[in-house]
Amino acid sequence: MPSRDVSDMYWAVAGSTTQVYSSKVGDFVPVADATYQAWLAKGNMTQKIDTEANLGEVLAPYLLRPTAANVLDGYKDKQATDITTAVIFKILFNHENRLRAIERNLGLNGSPADLTPGQAKAAVKALM
Amino acid sequence: MSGTDGYIQTPPDAGGKRVDATEAINNAGILVERQRVEIPDEVQITSEWLVRMLVEQRMQNLLLAEGFGLRDNIDGLRDELSNIAGLDLTVPAVRELLTEDRIYYVSSNGSDSNDGLTVNSAFLTVQAAVNAVSALDVNGFDVTIMNGIATTTTTVMLKSYVGQTADFRGVMILGDRTTPANIAISVNGDGVLADAVQGNWFLDGMKFSCTGLGGEGCVHAINGSTVYVGKVDFGACSGSHMYAVNGATILTTEDYAITAAALRHAFAEFGGALRLLGFSGSTPYTPMTVTMSGVQVYSSFIRSTGLSKIESFAVTYTGGTITGQRYLVQLNSVIDTYGGGVNYFPGDVAGATATGGQYG
């Protein structure tokens, strides 16, 4: 069987033949990397994926945080998406905007505009 | 004589006693060895019933212990005891035991009354060859059905056979690997159906098309069957190109083509499994390419539901204009791409998970 240990797998992104992403390292390594070659020699196979962002999305549920910037962006985006689509978050989101409506009515705190879903997700993503 | 209650009345010359039947046989000193039957000279077999008990018990033990491998010895035992007692102890015919790989030929010039063993004595239909295989004990050897029929228009019903001894061995229906479309399975209904089949079947070098309400699968495996799909061409299908249900498994082994759409390319439900990867029977697996052409519209390219699993690894789907949902996974089922990402399967609509389905 191909390795199903996501914490020690390799991906070729966008058809790259020069480097692969290592979930163990958290970053790309050259295909000549000795550890990678040893992993292949055990009969494992490299998975393919179309974009770095989608790779980050794959890694997010396993909390295998990448260091490669574009992969990390996809990782954080997935985590933020999962959080902001939860019902509890939507309730909090509505409460936030009710507070902002009160602030506007009372002229408090600069009368902030309603928070948009995109802004809410970006705020959560920044926390990841 | 009486033996129906597990006791026998021994013959007058043996005392006329009521004794346990098994004990009586053992006490008679009749030895059954692996190679031949030895009956000591001092033993006088004067009871017809005793002989019958011996045959039934000893032959059954041999059959259970050795399978059918001791057929010659069993025949000898039967003949020897038949001669002694003058009984007809003929046993039913058993399967032909292969001692080497076998090829069956299927040709438009053939006849289903032929034996299929040579080009000049080919069968007329693939089904006749399948039926012939089902009568075999393949004894660990491979059987190939050389399908030379340009178009088969009735569902090929795969059948069980005896004697598969290892994974990735079994019986192959082989068409034209260079141009699979030259050998078409084009059916108003399922293309190939494996229902509760024991023993691996391989399908290679054919083009599948299936239409009509009964066309649930170009390759339809059900009730625990296992079917391997090699270099084939999937054409138009009113159901799924590959449909595994009720504990059945369909595995792909190498590159193949999809030249026309189905409702779904691969569909597993009710505990079915599909393994879309270059399964060569050994490690490492081989990366494979699925070549698609033309405009193909799917309801969902891949669907797994009802405690089923579809896995795919290192497969590149290329070519064609593919529209429809990439995947749909429901009811505690799994689609496992080994981290292939949300765009691993072709389509122009995002995949979806629901009711406990997982995609990863």
The residues pairing with B317 across neighbouring beta strands, listed in sequence order, are B290
Q: Over 80: is that where the pLDDT of B72 sits?
A: no
Burial of A88 (0-12, 13-18, 19+ CB in 10 A): exposed
Residue B77 confidence class, pLDDT cut points 50, 70, 90 = low
Residue B169 confidence class, pLDDT cut points 50, 70, 90 = confident
Q: Which residue has the higher pLDDT, B79 or B154?
A: B154
Give me B33's structure tokens.
């060895």
B284 to A44: CB separation less than 8 angstroms, yes or no: yes
- DSSP assigned state of B92: P
B302-326: pLDDT as tens digits: 999 999 999 999 899 999 999 999 9
Question: Looking up tokens 């055990």, which residue turns up?
Answer: A42
B338 to A9: CB separation less than 8 angstroms, yes or no: yes
Q: Tell me the residue length of chain A.
A: 128
Predicted pLDDT at A43: 84
A57 to B343: CB separation less than 8 angstroms, yes or no: no
Predicted pLDDT at B152: 97
Q: Over 80: is that where the pLDDT of B282 sits?
A: no
Q: Which residue has the higher pLDDT, B166 or B176?
A: B176
A43 touches B at CB < 8 Å: yes
Q: Over 60: is that where the pLDDT of B87 sits?
A: yes
Percent pLDDT > 70 in chain A is: 98
Between CA A96 and CA A86 the distance in angstroms is: 15
A59-94: pLDDT as tens digits: 999 999 999 999 999 999 999 999 999 999 999 999
Between CA B308 and CA B300 the distance in angstroms is: 16
Q: Which residue has the higher pLDDT, B281 or B324?
A: B324
B341 to A55: CB separation less than 8 angstroms, yes or no: yes
Predicted pLDDT at B168: 77
Q: Over 80: is that where the pLDDT of B46 sits?
A: no
B325 touches B265 (CB < 8 A): no
Predicted pLDDT at B215: 77
Amino acid identity at B179: T
Partner residue opposite A47 with nearest CB, options B339, B342, B343: B339
| Closest Cα in chain B, distance from residue A35 (Å) | 17
Burial of B86 (0-12, 13-18, 19+ CB in 10 A): exposed
Q: Over 90: is that where the pLDDT of A105 sits?
A: yes
B273 touches B309 (CB < 8 A): yes
| Highest mean pLDDT pick, B43-57, B126-140, B280-294 | B126-140
Predicted pLDDT at B167: 77
Predicted pLDDT at B213: 74
| Closest Cα in chain A, distance from residue B93 (Å) | 42
Predicted pLDDT at B61: 61
Amino acid identity at B352: A
B343 to A45: CB separation less than 8 angstroms, yes or no: no
The residues pairing with B193 across neighbouring beta strands, listed in sequence order, are B157, B220
Partner residue opposite A11 with nearest CB, options B284, B339, B360: B339
Q: Which residue has the higher pLDDT, B148 or B66?
A: B148
Nearest to A74 by CA among A3, A128, A4: A128
Interface test with B, best of A10, A47, A57 (most B CBs within 10 A): A47
B339 touches A6 (CB < 8 A): yes
B344 to A49: CB separation less than 8 angstroms, yes or no: yes
Predicted pLDDT at B21: 57
Residue B294 confidence class, pLDDT cut points 50, 70, 90 = very high
A4 to B338: CB separation less than 8 angstroms, yes or no: yes
Interface test with B, best of A39, A58, A64, A82 (most B CBs within 10 A): A58
Query: What value does the mean pLDDT of chain B take?
Result: 85
Q: Over 50: is that where the pLDDT of B332 sits?
A: yes
Chain A contact set for B316 (CB, 8 A): 48
Residue B126 confidence class, pLDDT cut points 50, 70, 90 = very high
Residue B149: which region, alpha, beta or left (left: phi > 0; alpha: psi -120 to 50)? beta
- What mean pLDDT comes out for the span B171-175? 98
Percent pLDDT > 70 in chain B is: 73
Partner residue opposite B343 with nearest CB, options A43, A50, A59: A50
Between CA B193 and CA B199 the distance in angstroms is: 14
Which residues 6+ apart lie within 8 Å of B134 measured at CB? B159, B160, B161
DSSP run (H or E) holding A58: helix A52-59
B290 touches B256 (CB < 8 A): yes
B3-39: pLDDT as tens digits: 446 665 656 665 666 666 566 555 554 444 333 445 5
Between CA A96 and CA A76 the distance in angstroms is: 22
| Closest Cα in chain B, distance from residue A47 (Å) | 5
Q: Which residue has the higher pLDDT, B212 or B28?
A: B212
Q: Whole-model pTM?
A: 0.77
Predicted pLDDT at B211: 86
For chains A and B, what is the number of CB pairs under 8 angstroms?
Answer: 55
